[in-house]
Amino acid sequence: MGAWIRQGTGTLLMVTQQGVADEYVYRLDSDGELFLAPDDTGTVVVDDQGDLVLESTPDSTGCLAGSQVAVTDVRAWFDRTLPLGEALTGNATTGGCSLHEVLSGVWIRVS
């Protein structure tokens, strides 16, 4: 959970818990409207292989409802040179929605 910025971009990803345990939602945005009008919104689950699976919901403005992406090879690490000391890397599968392609790469925790 938390807010992350993709290294070298202005793209933000926020993951929060929704209601009950093990239910998570995300917001993805690249134009400064993460809270008002995110580019994509949806649900997040961790599958049996440990991959993150994001699925767009009907509220998404940039992806069709049901568009899915799996972020594989997810790794987290601590780095004292980063604002909150945490970063993630992963590889996003292609297809579904073009907005999901940005999920590959390095994400730096900002909140």
The one-digit pLDDT tens for each residue of the chain (111 residues) are: 789 999 999 999 999 998 877 789 999 999 999 999 999 999 999 899 989 999 999 999 999 999 999 999 888 877 766 666 788 889 998 778 999 999 999 999 888
Domain boundaries, the chain: 2-109
β-strand pairing of 24-29 with 12-17: antiparallel
Residues whose CB is less than 8 angstroms from the CB of residue 47 and which lie 6 or more positions away in sequence, other chains included: 53, 70
Q: Which SS3 state, helix, strand or coil, does residue 20 take?
A: coil
Backbone φ and ψ for 106, nearest 5 degrees, come out as -100, 130
End-to-end C-alpha distance for the chain, whole angstroms: 9
Report the distance separating Cα 1 and Cα 22, nearest Å: 11
Predicted TM-score (pTM) of the model is 0.88
